[in-house]
Structure 1
Amino acid sequence: MTGRVYLDWNATSPLRPEARAAMAEAMDVVGNPSSVHAEGRAAKGLIERARGQLAEALGASSGADLVFVSGATEAAALALGGRELRGARIEHDAVHAWCDPVLPVATDGRVEVAEPEDATLQLANSETGVVQDLPQGLAVSDITQGFGRLPFAYGWAGVGMIFLSAHKFGGPKGAGLLVIPEGYDLSARSRGGGQEMGRRSGTENVIGIAGMAAAAEAAQRDLAAGTWDRVAEIRNILEKAIVAASPETIFVGNAARRLPNTSLMLTPGWKGETQVMAMDLAGFAVSAGSACSSGKVRENRVLAAMGYDRAEAGCAIRVSIGPDTTEDQVLAFAEAWSRARQKQRARAA
């Protein structure tokens, strides 16, 4: 197989052609959406059209306000800042920084929430892929990794606030969304012109917003068409091939429901960073965990919460695939990984 193979979709997914086309169209709209002249109204029209598209894609067409932000990190700060919400150690850093991480985590990665009204819980974990059952009445949920890959609608989820980042489902980087109950008194963290209903000041990222809306619509079409069922089949082929070559490798969280595209492979005695570098040299892009935490020497909170010690956690890599990933590509990865594993065993002997 020639050329590189991208297997890090949970870090960021490739830009969808629908998003690219929408962004190109938005680039020709020169007005500031806060201006009252025709050019400004045209830009504002693009934003409001995108707001409607996203509301429909999220099942939030009524009874909710959609606030455009730069991404899930900013949305988490808006939703959680100044509130005393309980969370779990498996939450993304952007959420973990704001919550009290006291909710118990089972060894399979699932979290039970007894009092959801003062808690935050992610829809799916970016590292393990473990999917949570969101309880009715939950205060906040980070749906960043799950949107477009799992059935979800704000209208029936029973969650107070949700947020996401566009680049996880084929939209552009630097665009995100926070959904809050209609009329909710949310304190702005950036003050100025009062954009986004006074929740988030600053000129809106019109181009990014247009791309995010187009990507969300396309993502929901793919989900409805069963695209991610096929992705799960490809993921299972990969895991079967890895187990055949290395029976000692553990797929973290596979006892629970997982995202259809995610495999967190833990191979005792073989450092994850070494595996990532070996696969990179072989032409495969994978990661040693969340992209926002890679490169930082510290305990892996997610695996520690699930009962793995520091040495074990240091031997994990994440392979996350997408609709463009083929069976030939994952089998080629498994073959290259298996060769590297044999060399590692020989050096350790």
Structure 2
Amino acid sequence: MDYGSASPVDTRVLEAMMPYFDKEIGNPSSPHSSGRKAKRELEAARTDVANLIGAQSPRSIIFTSGATESNNLALRGAAMRYKDKGNHIITSSVEHMSVMNPLKDIQRSGFDVTHIPVDRDGMVDAERVKDAINEKTVLISVQYANGEVGTVQPIKEIGEIASDNRILFHVDGTAACGKIPLNVEEEHIDLLTISSNDMYGPKGVGALYIRQDVRILPLMLGGGQEFGMRSGSENIPGIIGMGRAAKLASDEMIDEGARLIRLRDQLIDSILKIEYTYLTGHRTKRLLNNASFRFSYIEGESTILMLSELGITASTGSACSTKTLEPSHALIAMGLRHEEAHGSLRLTLGKYNSQEDVDYVLESTPGIITKLRALSPLYPAHG
């Protein structure tokens, strides 16, 4: 129940990758037959990723080491490329730390960053983004969906605002790409971060979509691979795996999505019957595999440890998962008090979850919550 943290590699993806670890070892920059074959496979994977997101040209796909690198390349590359035009960036208050921290660093270079607040569901108001634009705004960066609470943002509306004002629009699509249909052309996305592992591909590989008429500065300089945007010998096994994962997602996400929505809603409807339990994130505009909650009067890390003892993996936005003493910045941005945010629990489903898994979680969770509340001096049942 923690696919949001890590997903297994699909066996069909692994099968496609295996020959390129020991038999097909060509470098795509080499002119011989082995190199040319690697080059063909590299470009085939590029095409599959482009097709997944509705990109007009495969050349708009730049392979990276993962979502964090893609976010850094998009943000730093765009800011530095257009710094003579302006020094203002707009983002939301619930972005992933691989967006928040690069933006903090960019501020040290003289940029101003406006963080748009969200409502109680974690939703960004597109009109507030519009109102924040000024003559120095060069970039807007808003995640497609929040991986913690599941809320899907109004990306098309924000994209139209960015396009109308001729401002670059970056979207961190990590939590959404491969799970729900998205289209960079229809949604006016200029830069899109894509993660391999979040769609059952291998870890350590990702991609950044860069619209063909957009120019940004590279971070990695060297031999000029990836159209000069990301130098270094390409991770051919990983890229082939990501391409295969993208093709499978294109073919299967609609049917698989319907199955996951049914399981997700069972989790939500049943767990909300527990007293003093609340859903976090938007009820309907949310990732199809995300069921996230907060429980009053208990700590989230205690919940996941007790679930783990029963063989159930889950996550929380509190100190246990962030390795800090601070609660989730996303939950705080949504208006929760610190003690409320510390009682969070996130269950994220995937393709290998079954009805039996969901039934087991629903059988186990109420008893755990009851035990933990019995230990809490704040729980009203104590008198």
**CA shift for structure 1 position 183:** 4.8
Whether the 8 Å CA contact 1:33–1:40 is kept in 2: the answer is: yes
Give the 3 Å change call, closer, same or farther, for CA 292–218 of structure 1 in structure 2. farther
Q: Distance in 2 between matches of 1:264 and 1:309?
A: 17
Q: How does 1:89-108 map to 2 (within 5 A)?
A: 89-99=93-103, 100-108=113-121
Whether the 8 Å CA contact 2:297–2:373 is kept in 1: the answer is: no
Q: Distance in 1 between matches of 2:244 and 2:360?
A: 33
Q: Which residue matches 1:147?
A: 177
Whether the 8 Å CA contact 2:318–2:341 is kept in 1: the answer is: no
Q: Which residue matches 1:3?
A: none
Q: How does 1:284-295 map to 2 (within 5 A)?
A: 284-289=312-317, 294-295=322-323
Q: Which residue matches 2:44?
A: 49
Q: Which residue matches 1:110?
A: 123
**CA shift for structure 1 position 205:** 0.5
Equivalent residue of 1:97, what SS?
helix
Whether the 8 Å CA contact 1:26–1:46 is kept in 2: the answer is: no
**CA shift for structure 1 position 102:** 1.6
Q: Distance in 2 between matches of 1:291 and 1:167?
A: 24
Q: Distance in 1 between matches of 2:320 and 2:233?
A: 26
**CA shift for structure 1 position 155:** 2.2
* Aligned residue type for 1:123: Y
Is 1:300 equivalent to 2:328 in the alignment? yes
Equivalent residue of 1:264, what SS?
strand
Equivalent residue of 1:153, what SS?
coil
Q: Distance in 2 between matches of 1:51 and 1:91?
A: 27
Whether the 8 Å CA contact 2:276–2:296 is kept in 1: the answer is: yes
**CA shift for structure 1 position 61:** 3.2
Q: Which residue matches 1:240?
A: 269
* Aligned residue type for 2:5: A
Q: Which residue matches 2:222?
A: 192
Q: How does 1:59-74 map to 2 (within 5 A)?
A: 59-62=54-57, 65-74=60-69
**CA shift for structure 1 position 117:** 6.3
CA RMSD of aligned residues (A): 2.0
Whether the 8 Å CA contact 1:108–1:256 is kept in 2: the answer is: no
**CA shift for structure 1 position 8:** 0.6
TM, length-normalised to structure 1? 0.92
Give the 3 Å change call, closer, same or farther, for CA 178–14 of structure 1 in structure 2. same
Q: Distance in 2 between matches of 1:252 and 1:109?
A: 8
* Aligned residue type for 1:233: R
Q: Distance in 2 between matches of 1:291 and 1:230?
A: 32
Q: Distance in 2 between matches of 1:88 and 1:44?
A: 39
* Aligned residue type for 1:22: A
Q: How does 1:255-334 map to 2 (within 5 A)?
A: 255=283, 257-289=285-317, 294-334=322-362
Selected match of 1:31 from 26, 29, 32:
26
Q: Which residue matches 1:125?
A: 146
Give the 3 Å change call, closer, same or farther, for CA 73–104 of structure 1 in structure 2. same
Equivalent residue of 1:81, what SS?
helix
**CA shift for structure 1 position 152:** 0.7
* Aligned residue type for 2:285: R
* Aligned residue type for 2:169: A
Q: Distance in 2 between matches of 1:12 and 1:127?
A: 13
Q: Distance in 2 between matches of 1:290 and 1:158?
A: 34
Selected match of 1:19 from 13, 17, 20:
13
* Aligned residue type for 2:244: A
Equivalent residue of 1:139, what SS?
strand
Query: For structure 1, which segment, 295-304 or 167-176, has the greater mean C-alpha deviation from structure 2 after superposition?
Result: 295-304
Gaps of 5+ in 2: 80-87, 104-112, 377-381
Equivalent residue of 2:346, what SS?
strand
Q: Percent identity?
A: 32
TM, length-normalised to structure 2? 0.84
Runs of 4+ in 1 over 3 A off after TM superposition: 289-293
**CA shift for structure 1 position 159:** 0.9
**CA shift for structure 1 position 292:** 11
Deviations 1:133-164 (A, max 9, x none): 11223610011111122121122121111011
**CA shift for structure 1 position 63:** 8.3
**CA shift for structure 1 position 243:** 2.3
* Aligned residue type for 2:54: G
Query: For structure 1, which segment, 122-131 or 315-324, has the greater mean C-alpha deviation from structure 2 after superposition?
Result: 315-324
